[in-house]
């Protein structure tokens, strides 16, 4: 047992020793492992540092490479932009050269008429010898009694007026004649060079003494050839036996002695003081229907003998008396009066009743007025023509019974059927039936034209005499004198040269809007003789201005589409030579139905130099721009160190015009520096993009109409296609105040508009002449009084002439100028003044000429899906 235990104890002791050694050995191994780990960690740290350093180097290299890539990318993009810009500029240059080649070819092949100088005007004794003997009356006509050799087509129609001290005792008539001598461009004080000699007679000379008076005139030359005898009196009746070969202009004329298309009828000279502003004595045109449908007031001048004419008048009285029974509220007839004003000495003629004021009161309450033709032996009498003048003045539409047997004033060119009813006397029983069929629109249009006729030709003595001269000049085929143009005095003196700067880079060069061509003017006075010889109906009855020849008209004949390819190509630039196309071809040429042209920017400014220069710079490289005229509306000149930008138009062609006074009317003056038909009127703070301007000027549009809730596409329209319209951007409208029964100006958003603001609008230069010289002075005075409303005045004028509303383009409703000071339009009084202007202008015109429109204009391919290889007409419009 003990031995057994000894064995196991010894085994245990040996085991203990082995465990100790093992532990020791393990410890030694751990030490070696730790040392190895330490070495490895140190190695890893060295590797980490090395990798970090390498990563930093790589990051630096990466950043450097990225910077180089960014720089190269920018350079590539810049090169692409430069390439695109240069390519577009190269295309523009090529296009400009191409257009210049077209222009050169046109000039080389232009059909220039062969003009010869006029024949020498006959003077002195030579003229006496060549006068032919007077033909037997009443055979005198222009071809037999007028010497055309004294009136060359290029002579200007010189007129010599005989002194009037003895022949015209009326002071008011003398004043009118003095005004004519001062203002009429035909007046000459050298009788030997005159085309015609004018003799003015009053009402005091009896007919038997007129012949001897005329023969004593210094240049009568035995027969009175090339003389016009204007008889302003109503009692003296002249005929060929008194005046021989002279033209007679008078109110009373006998049928047997009146020489058709030779003699002239005109109303007697208005009594009393001449009207400085004829509109002041005329009522408004509306309402269409007045208290009485038809009226008449007069007394028959009885003859001692009962004639056929007397019996006819008795019959008329009976018929009208029966007609008025049952219609007392509509018809007002009076065939007797206590105080008759006997203007006419003609038997069986209808005399005037009462004073002019009482007659005017009845006429202003009458829609129509009956006027009886004079007795059959006369084609006109003084009383008859006074009735016509008073009816037109007071808005009663003349119903002339016997209108087929009378000679009305200036009827050779004036179309009286557009202002009066000319009925045979046999229709007297049907007058009431006829008048009841007239619509309100017909009544208003007849009344409006009648008022225009009266204002233009019959309202004053001076206007009547000027009309007589214009009528004779038109007979001779001599064009009217050219319209006066306002000089364009520069704000700079002759020795000062303004400083210039390079225009800022154009940010709108990514679209081809048209060629950049050298400035060229619109052709002027191209239709002098075609208008004079073939278009007088429009001149006398649409324009109501035969006294002036304008350099161009707003509605000139348009050639058929094929004409430009068949010998009439001068000036035309058809799209793709007539093949048409989308945006690319569209942007290369102007196209359209009329020859190429440019427009002039007229910019009104007042002491805002920074704003002005900024606006001018935006016009750099604008296609179709002829020049920019800056109307400097301040008496203080611009700063001498002000630098004017070079905008692509030669700087010497840009005009800075000094205004005579600070007036908003200055923006519409017909400056001689404006050499284009198209005028873009802009304010100095107006910001328009190039594509908007070109779009407004060009001729292809899609009309987006707002009519109820539907949209419609109408035919092509824009300024070049609608030259008689104003084409602009911000729209406004006139609204009716139901409570105050008046008009007010409204700038709120609306689906209708009737005006476009002239701070950004195209219009024809013709309207500048009419605005300045023809439109009533009272309107321009009101504009100066308020320093406001000039845009309303121009919209009134154009709508009055055309009876059409303006055209609005693009979506713009207003303009913002962040860097500008507060404008006048921000003041509440600005809108109150515009309300006043609206109602005052209505009083001047006699009605509201503005018309509403319910659409605006966008380009044809706007919002239209097109193939990827095609371009739209405009990118953003």
- pLDDT given at position 110: 62
DSSP string for residues in 466-506: HHHHHHHHHHTTPPPPBPP-B---BSS-TT---EEEEPPPP
Domain with 538, as residue range(s), is 528-858
Considering the domain boundaries, does residue 518 fall inside one?
Answer: no
Taking the CB of residue 661, how many other CB atoms lie within 10 A of it?
10
Inter-residue contact 765 to 845 (CB < 8 Å)? no
Q: State the pLDDT confidence band at 171, using cuts at 50, 70 and 90.
A: low
Mark whether 303 and 258 lie in a shared domain. no
Question: Is the peptide bond preceding residue 98 cis, with omega within 30 degrees of 0?
Answer: no
Distance, CA of 156 to CA of 186 (rounded, Å): 7
DSSP string covering 88-146: HHHHHHHHHHHHHHHHHHHHHT-------PPPPPP-HHHHHHHPPPPPSTT---HHHH-
Q: Which of 811, 815, 783, 809 is nearest to 796 (CA)?
A: 783
Q: Are residues 710 and 852 in the same domain?
A: yes
The mean-pLDDT minimum among 9-18, 582-591, 846-855 falls in 9-18
CA triple 211-217-223, angle to 5 deg: 60
Q: Are residues 200 and 244 in the same domain?
A: yes
Domain count, the chain: 4
Q: Do the Cβ atoms of 589 and 517 come closer than 8 Å?
A: no
Which positions are annotated as active-site residues? Answer: 791
pLDDT of residue 506: 67
Check whether residue 85 and residue 145 sit in a common domain. no
Burial 390-429, CB ≥16 within 10 A → b, else e? bbbbbbbbbbbbbbebbbbbbebbbebeebbbbbebebbe
Q: Let me know: does 415 contact 541? Beta carbons within 8 Å.
A: yes
Encoded tokens for 34: 């730790």
Separation CA 555–CA 568 (nearest Å): 19
- 289 with 438, same domain: the answer is yes
pLDDT over 70 percentage in the chain: 84
Residue 635 has pLDDT above 50, yes or no: yes
Same domain, yes or no: 400 and 359: yes
Q: Are residues 334 and 402 in the same domain?
A: yes
Whether residues 601 and 694 share a domain: the answer is yes
Query: In this model, does residue 524 exceed pLDDT 50?
Result: yes
| Rounded Cα distance, 519 and 622, in Å | 12
Domain assignment of residue 505, yes or no:
no
How far is C-alpha 798 from the chain's CA centre? 5
What pLDDT is attached to residue 673?
92
- What is the side-by-side order of every strand in the sheet holding 340-341? 299-300, 350-353, 340-341
Q: What kind and span of H or E run contains 828? A: helix 828-845
Alpha helices in 216-286 (DSSP H): 240-243
For the segment 288-317, the average pLDDT, to the nearest whole number, is: 80
Lowest mean pLDDT among 134-138, 209-213, 250-254: 134-138
Backbone Cα Rg of the chain:
43
Is there a single domain that holds both residue 289 and residue 249? no
Predicted confidence at residue 303, as pLDDT, reads: 61
Rounded distance between C-alpha atoms, residue 221 and residue 44, angstroms: 134
- Indicate whether 842 belongs to any domain: yes
Q: Is the dihedral of CA 96, 97, 100, 106 positive or negative?
A: negative
**Is position 870 within any domain?**
no
Q: Which of 235, 265, 295 is the last residue of a domain?
A: 265
Residue whose entry in the numeric block shows the structure tokens 């800022």: 504
Say which range, 499-503, 533-537, 540-544, 847-851, has the weakest mean pLDDT.
499-503
Strand partners, 397: 368
Residue 228 predicted with pLDDT over 90: yes
**Angle at CA 657, nearest 5°, toward 652 and 660?**
160
Question: Is residue 254, in this structure, part of any structural domain at all?
Answer: yes
What is the per-residue pLDDT for 705?
Answer: 36
Q: Tokens for 376, please give them.
A: 């059959």
Judgement on whether residues 309 and 231 belong to the same structural domain of the protein: no
Say what the pLDDT of residue 494 is.
72
pLDDT category, 781, cuts 50, 70, 90?
very high
Q: Is 548 helix (H, G, I), strand (E, B) or coil?
A: coil
Return the higher-pLDDT residue of 381 and 702: 381
Tokens 């090169």 sit on residue: 79
Rounded Cα gap, residues 243 and 214, in angstroms: 7
Is it the case that residue 568 has pLDDT exceeding 90? no
- Find out whether 792 and 771 touch, Cβ atoms under 8 Å: no
The pLDDT of residue 240 is above 50: yes
Q: With bands split at pLDDT 50, 70 and 90, how would you rate the model's confidence at 703? A: very low
The verdict on residue 765 lying in a domain is yes
pTM of the model: 0.84
Q: Same domain, yes or no, for 330 and 184? A: no
Decide if 808 is inside a domain: yes
Asked if residue 318 and residue 210 are part of one domain, the reply reads no
More confident residue, 150 or 500: 150
Helix (H, G, I), strand (E, B) or coil at 547: coil
In a domain, 735, yes or no: yes
């Amino acid at each position: 047992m003990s031995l057994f235990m000894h064995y196991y104890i010894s085994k245990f002791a040996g085991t203990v020793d082995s465990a100790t050694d093992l532990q020791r050995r393990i410890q030694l191994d751990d030490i070696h492992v730790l040392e190895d780990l330490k070495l490895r960690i140190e190695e890893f740290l060295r590797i980490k540092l090395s990798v970090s350093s390498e990563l930093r180097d790589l990051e630096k290299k990466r950043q450097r490479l990225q910077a180089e890539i960014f720089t190269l990318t920018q350079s590539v993009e810049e090169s692409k932009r430069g390439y695109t810009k240069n390519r577009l500029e190269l295309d523009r240059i090529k296009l400009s050269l191409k257009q210049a080649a077209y222009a050169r070819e046109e000039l080389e092949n232009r059909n220039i008429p062969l003009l010869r100088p006029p024949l020498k005007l006959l003077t002195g004794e030579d003229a006496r010898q060549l006068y032919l003997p007077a033909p037997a009356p009443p055979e005198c006509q222009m071809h037999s009694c007028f010497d055309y050799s004294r009136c060359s087509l290029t002579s200007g129609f010189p007129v010599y007026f005989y002194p009037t001290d003895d022949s015209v005792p009326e002071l008011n008539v003398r004043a009118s004649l003095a005004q004519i001598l001062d203002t009429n461009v035909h007046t000459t004080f050298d009788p030997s060079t005159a085309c015609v000699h004018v003799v003015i007679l009053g009402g005091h000379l009896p007919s038997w003494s007129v012949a001897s008076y005329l023969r004593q005139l210094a240049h009568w030359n035995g027969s009175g050839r090339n003389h016009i005898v204007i008889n302003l009196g109503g009692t003296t009746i002249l005929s060929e036996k008194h005046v021989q070969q002279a033209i007679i202009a008078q109110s009373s004329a006998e049928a047997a002695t009146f020489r058709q298309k030779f003699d002239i009828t005109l109303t007697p000279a208005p009594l009393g003081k001449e009207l400085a502003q004829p509109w002041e004595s005329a009522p408004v045109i509306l309402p269409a229907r007045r208290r009485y449908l038809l009226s008449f007031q007069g007394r028959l001048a009885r003859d001692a003998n009962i004639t056929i004419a007397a019996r006819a008048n008795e019959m008329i009285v009976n018929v009208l008396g029966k007609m008025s029974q049952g219609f007392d509220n509509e018809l007002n007839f009076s065939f007797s009066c206590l105080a008759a004003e006997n203007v006419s000495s003609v038997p069986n003629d209808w005399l005037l009743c009462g004073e002019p004021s009482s007659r005017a009161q009845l006429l202003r309450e009458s829609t129509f007025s009956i006027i009886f033709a004079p007795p059959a032996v006369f084609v006109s009498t003084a009383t008859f023509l006074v009735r016509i003048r008073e009816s037109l003045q007071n808005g009663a539409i003349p119903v002339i019974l016997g209108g087929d047997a009378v000679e009305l004033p200036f009827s050779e060119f004036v179309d009286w059927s557009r202002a009066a009813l000319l009925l045979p006397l046999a229709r007297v029983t049907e007058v009431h039936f006829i008048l009841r069929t007239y619509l309100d629109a017909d009544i208003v249009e007849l009344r409006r034209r009648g008022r225009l006729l009266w204002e233009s030709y019959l309202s004053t003595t001076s206007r009547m005499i000027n009309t007589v001269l214009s009528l004779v000049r038109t007979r001779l085929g001599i064009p009217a004198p050219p319209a006066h143009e306002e000089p364009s005095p520069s704000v700079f003196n002759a020795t000062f040269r303004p400083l210039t700067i390079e225009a800022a880079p154009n940010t709108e060069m990514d679209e081809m809007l048209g060629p950049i061509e050298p400035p060229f003017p619109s052709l002027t006075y191209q239709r002098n003789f075609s208008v004079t010889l073939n278009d007088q109906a429009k001149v006398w009855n649409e324009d109501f201005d035969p006294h002036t020849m304008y350099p161009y008209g707003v509605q000139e004949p348009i050639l058929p589409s094929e004409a430009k390819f068949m010998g009439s190509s001068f000036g035309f630039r058809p799209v793709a030579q007539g093949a048409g196309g989308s945006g690319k071809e569209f942007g290369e040429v102007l196209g359209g139905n009329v020859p190429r042209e440019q427009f002039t920017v007229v910019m009104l400014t007042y002491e805002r130099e920074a704003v002005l220069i900024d606006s001018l710079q935006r016009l750099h490289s604008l296609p179709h721009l002829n020049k920019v005229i800056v109307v400097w509306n301040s008496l203080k000149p611009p700063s001498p160190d002000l630098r004017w930008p070079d905008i692509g138009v030669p700087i010497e062609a840009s005009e800075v015009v000094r205004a005579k006074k600070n007036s908003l009317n200055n923006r519409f003056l017909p400056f001689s520096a404006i050499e284009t038909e198209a005028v873009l009127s802009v304010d100095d703070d107006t910001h328009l993009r190039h594509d908007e301007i070109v779009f407004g000027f060009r001729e292809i549009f899609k009309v987006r109409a707002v009519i109820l809730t539907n949209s419609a596409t109408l035919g092509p329209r824009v300024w070049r296609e609608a030259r008689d319209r104003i084409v602009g951007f911000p729209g406004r409208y006139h609204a009716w105040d139901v409570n105050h029964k008046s008009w007010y100006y409204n700038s709120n958003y609306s689906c209708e508009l009737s005006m476009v603001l002239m701070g950004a609008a195209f219009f024809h230069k013709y309207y500048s002449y009419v605005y300045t010289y023809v439109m009533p002075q009272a309107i321009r005075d009101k504009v100066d009084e308020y320093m406001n409303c000039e845009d309303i005045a121009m919209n009134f004028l154009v709508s009055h002439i055309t009876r059409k509303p303006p055209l609005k383009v693009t979506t713009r409703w207003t303009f913002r100028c962040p860097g500008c000071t507060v404008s006048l339009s921000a003041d509440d009084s600005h809108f109150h003044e515009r309300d006043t202007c609206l109602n005052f202008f209505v009083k001047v015109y006699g009605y509201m000429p503005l018309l509403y429109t319910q659409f605006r204009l966008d380009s044809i391919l706007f919002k239209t899906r097109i193939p990827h290889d095609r371009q739209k007409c405009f990118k953003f419009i």
